[in-house]
Structure 1
């Protein structure tokens, strides 16, 4: 099982320090929130992209991809009735795909709840078609970079669009591109019927902290992942940074490796 860390919790840390600390704890992947690099993807220069990739490699980690794709952007939306905004969103996803590919990443997780929720009066079916149009237009260029764009089901507390894996599978069918697939996390546990379209997995706890920092038991979660044949990244994503990056990263890694050791000891 390959462990990565979503790096936006390293508030005000240099990239060099982020990569070195993560590697020391046993993380082999870094998952990047674009807003931590620049206001827009295109603002990250070619030189900066090369330096980020080289520093990560020198520290023993790889940049696996991007998430929080539309966070802290303006004028972008996935399901809007505004055709100009949809075109701009497609174009920006292509820019993100270029950034992801240049950094050596292969996955982009589309969460961004505020940039996908339905506008007043819009039907679910129209929102699905609008989202499919945006993604269809972006996928050829993204796919050409060897990058996979992944839709993330989110809870109804966060958004009213794509709340279940079945919703995600429907959008994937509408888009019809092999590099557009499903992302899952502990809020929407891996189901056998979605095994073939799941390409990435986030881990956290219901208290918004990392694995082992709340009440969620990861033994059945990791058991299910292993039995499903999932061989992608398991990436820690937290939303409460208050305990500090050092504590969160270390506690999460220690707990996850202990769970794997427990499962191995049981012969699972």
Structure 2
């Protein structure tokens, strides 16, 4: 039986401990921690912040489903448009790429501290002057370095594929997992991303069986080839019964995390409505 979690990336108008407490008040079993501003941006996330987070988790009675290290917007004083994943683990700038590798290691440290089973990571895009073949070489080297750090600490690393990134679909993430050949590398399966790419969700989940480190969930208007905008479950076109049945089919018993960063203006309403909608399936 899966458990429901909610990501703090919907609560960016609140400090991280308050976000955790609010999520706990809505009945969730777990919480995903945003590894970025304004929550756990690792270059400035110190011991006092960590203690305050642990106190809030204990008070709320929540487990941590995942540390979300997909973005590092805190890197910029004034972020350029679409800089969500930069610097990435595939960038051709050696210094920037190593910064991102070290940043992900700090996410692993936090995961170990709070008892999270995994961190998630997006590949980013191969930008101008960095052809996909070279970007994939950087990706392989970066992942091996991150996994060398994560494995002794018992932390899995889930690649979150997304349309228009270097790894953007199930075929590509499974090929990467096979190529890297390490059990601690898996997929943080964002069901909405699969739907927008045009994948059959039952097939995606079945093919990913045994490699799923975590699941992100949101509704999408239009389903396949729909618009990539995260909506509260029940306000789009995804068939969540199909999704939960497929997760049950493959024996997945981890967390399903609601990722509704699009509702930062009213996260409590989003958390409450999502919980009410999804408890019928689990």
TM-score by length of 2: 0.82
Matches within 5 A, 1:39-50: 40-50=41-51
Q: Could you say which residue in structure 1 is the equivalent of 2:90?
A: 79
Does residue 4 (structure 1) correspond to residue 5 (structure 2)? The answer is yes
Aligned partner of 1:247 in structure 2 is: 269
In the TM superposition, residue 70 of structure 1 has moved relative to its aligned partner by: 3.1
CA distance in 2, matches of 1:45, 1:213: 39
Query: Equivalent residue of 2:25, what SS?
Result: helix
Alignment of 1:1-268 (within 5 A): 1-37=2-38, 40-72=41-73, 73=75, 76-111=87-122, 116-156=124-164, 159=165, 161-186=166-191, 187-188=193-194, 189=201, 190-206=204-220, 207-241=229-263, 244-260=266-282
Give the length in aligned residue pairs: 254
Deviation at 1:200, TM superposition (A): 0.7
Q: CA deviation at 1:118?
A: 0.8
- Whole-Å separation in 2 of the counterparts to 1:70 and 1:24: 27
Residue 265 of structure 1: aligned partner: none
Change (3 A) 1:241 1:38: closer
Distance 1:21 1:131, change over 3 A: same
CA shift digits 1:174-227 (9 cap, x unpaired): 333221111112232333222111121011011421212222221111111111
**Greater relative CO (CA pairs within 8 A, separation 6+):** 2
Match of 1:25, SS? coil
Which 5+ residue runs of structure 2 have no aligned equivalent?
77-85, 195-200, 221-228
Q: Is the contact made by 1:53 and 1:62 (CA closer than 8 Å) also made in structure 2?
A: no
Deviation of residue 68 (structure 1)? 4.1
The normalised TM-score by structure 1 is: 0.86
Q: Distance in 2 between the 1:88 and 1:106 partners?
A: 23
Cα distance, 1:166 vs structure 2: 1.6
Q: Secondary structure at the match of 1:259?
A: coil
The answer on whether the counterparts of 2:33 and 2:40 sit within 8 Å (CA) in structure 1 is no
Conserved? CA contact 1:184–1:198, under 8 Å:
yes
Residues in 1 aligned to 2:154 and 2:38: alpha-carbon distance in whole angstroms: 22
Moved over 4 A (4+): none
For residues 46 and 210 of structure 1, what CA distance do their matches in structure 2 show?
Answer: 34
Q: Evaluate the alpha carbon distance shift between residue 119 and residue 17 of structure 1 in structure 2; reply closer, same or farther with a 3 A threshold.
A: closer
Cα drift, residue 37 of structure 1: 4.9
RMSD: 2.2
TM superposition shift of 1:131: 0.4
CA contact (8 A) 1:203 1:234 kept: yes
C-alpha contact 2:205 2:247 (8 A) present in aligned 1: no
Deviations 1:75-130 (A, max 9, x none): 7322122333332222222122112222322211113x6xx201224333322221
